[in-house]
């Protein structure tokens, strides 16, 4: 059965591949991007099944208009995909206030406002699904990506809470956590001006690794998107969907270490309770 999807950030990367695969199988897509042009050929191939809309997700008013117009034009939207985002690269001290504000406005506030704009419309139509593209960086952290991690950890917490609020309305969520994948993420990084004080620190090591392209990219964008579609199509998808062997390994290790640390604190944790709290 044909579905209708609303996808942000479709000019390149996972958003573009997702739009292509969905259109290929016969679905309808509302695709947003910040500038005209990248989807012109795709529009020629698929005609009315592809609706292309210019949207900057840092503009909350524009988000509300865009989402409402999409529901009006398509009649129903089955899946909302929050994909727009980018990486900010630099040690926390190196970042400018403007860089921090833009990263949060795009990755975190933008995603939150797309969800908020969609919820009443999904509720009115009797339900739907929201796919939030996060990252392995929503569960682990690397030096030099502190603000990127802040947005991904933040949006995961937001989604987990909202999922509980709207489940009675037939609205559910999938948080997608890919590892390093063959997209243009690295080329799109916003780099802070480096400080020599960080040269001989973990931040400097990561900076040199990025500059030399020595990070292993194991994720296949096409296979990643195919797995996202399978999850979005399923009756009972997982709240979190980890994609890529690297992501699976790094998240597994981080969660195991976190649990080990928590369990070691059991006695001191309970010591903070009132003496009669167990009664």
Residue 276, pLDDT score:
79
The reply to whether 237 falls in a domain is: yes
Q: Which of 111, 134, 146, 250 is catalytic?
A: 134
The reply to whether 150 falls in a domain is: yes
The reply to whether 258 falls in a domain is: no
Q: Tokens 């929503």 belong to which residue?
A: 138
The reply to whether 34 falls in a domain is: yes
Q: Which of 227, 33, 26 is nearest to 131 (CA)?
A: 227
| Residue 134 annotated as catalytic | yes
The reply to whether 250 falls in a domain is: no
Q: Residue 179: which CATH number?
A: 3.40.50.720
Which has more pLDDT, 136 or 181? 136
The reply to whether 265 falls in a domain is: no
Residue 1, pLDDT score:
80
Share of the chain above pLDDT 90, in %: 87
| Residue 152 annotated as catalytic | yes
> 116: Cβ–Cβ under 8 A, 6 or more apart, which residues?
none
Tally of residues, the chain: 279
Span 245-249, average pLDDT: 94
| Residue 148 annotated as catalytic | yes
Per the prediction, the chain carries an average pLDDT of: 94
Distances (CA, A) of 69 to 52, 117, 270: 12, 11, 52
Residue 277, pLDDT score:
67
Residue 163 token pair: 């999922």
Out of 107-111, 200-204, 207-211, 237-241, pick the least confident.
207-211
> 254: Cβ–Cβ under 8 A, 6 or more apart, which residues?
139, 140
At 219, is the pLDDT very low, low, confident or very high (cuts 50, 70, 90)?
A: confident
Q: HSE, CB side, 13 Å, CA atoms: give it for residue 243.
A: 27
Q: Which of 11, 152, 198, 250 is catalytic?
A: 152
**112 within 8 A of 158, measured Cβ to Cβ:** yes
Residue-wise pLDDT for 85-104, tens only, equals: 999 999 999 999 999 999 99
Q: Per DSSP, what are the bridge partners of residue 82? A: 132
Residue 210, pLDDT score:
85
At 60, is the pLDDT very low, low, confident or very high (cuts 50, 70, 90)?
A: very high
Structural domains counted in the chain: 1
DSSP secondary structure string for all residues of 177-238: EE-SBSSSTTTT-EEPPP-GGGTTSHHHHHHHHHHTT-S---B-HHHHHHHHHHHHHSSS--
The dihedral through the CA atoms of 35, 39, 41, 44 has a sign that is negative
Q: How many CB atoms lie under 10 A from the CB of residue 253?
A: 11
DSSP state of 275: T
Q: HSE, CB side, 13 Å, CA atoms: give it for residue 111.
A: 27
| Residue 48 confidence (pLDDT) above 80 | yes
DSSP state of 171: E
Bin 6: left if φ > 0, else alpha if -120 < ψ < 50, else beta. Answer: beta
Span 66-81, average pLDDT: 97
Span 117-130, average pLDDT: 98
Residue 266, pLDDT score:
97
The reply to whether 251 falls in a domain is: no
The reply to whether 240 falls in a domain is: yes
Q: Which of 86, 142, 148, 198 is catalytic?
A: 148
Which segments within the chain are labelled E, that is strand? 4-7, 28-33, 50-54, 79-82, 88-89, 128-133, 171-178, 190-191, 240-243
Q: Per DSSP, what are the bridge partners of residue 81? A: 7, 131
Q: Which domain holds residue 40?
A: 4-245
Q: Which of 94, 100, 96, 48 is nearest to 75 (CA)?
A: 48
Residue 164, pLDDT score:
98
């Amino acid at each position: 059965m044909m579905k209708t999807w609303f996808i942000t950030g479709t000019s390149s990367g996972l958003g573009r591949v997702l739009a292509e695969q969905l259109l290929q199988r016969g679905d309808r897509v509302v695709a947003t991007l910040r500038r005209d042009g990248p989807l012109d050929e795709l529009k020629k191939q698929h005609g009315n099944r592809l609706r292309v809309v210019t949207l900057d997700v840092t503009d909350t008013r524009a988000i509300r208009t865009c989402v409402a117009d999409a529901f009006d034009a398509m009649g129903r939207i089955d899946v909302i995909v929050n994909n727009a985002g980018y990486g900010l690269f630099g040690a926390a001290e190196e970042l400018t206030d403007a860089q921090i504000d833009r990263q949060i406005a795009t990755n975190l506030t933008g995603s939150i406002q797309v969800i908020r704009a969609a919820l009443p419309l999904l509720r009115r139509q009797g339900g739907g699904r929201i796919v939030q593209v996060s990252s392995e960086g929503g569960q682990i952290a690397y030096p030099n990506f502190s603000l990127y991690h802040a947005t991904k950890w933040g949006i995961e917490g937001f989604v987990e809470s909202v999922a509980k609020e709207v489940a009675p309305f037939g609205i559910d969520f999938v948080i997608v956590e890919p590892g390093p994948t063959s997209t243009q993420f690295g080329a799109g990084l916003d780099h802070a001006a480096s400080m020599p004080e960080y040269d001989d620190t973990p931040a400097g090591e990561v900076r040199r690794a990025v500059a030399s392209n020595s990070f292993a990219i194991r994720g296949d964008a096409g296979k990643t998107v195919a797995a996202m579609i399978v999850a979005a199509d399923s009756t009972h998808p997982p709240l979190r969907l980890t994609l890529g062997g690297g992501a699976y390994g790094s998240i597994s290790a981080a969660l195991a270490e976190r649990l080990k640390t928590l369990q070691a604190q059991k006695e001191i944790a309970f010591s903070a309770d009132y003496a009669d709290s167990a009664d």
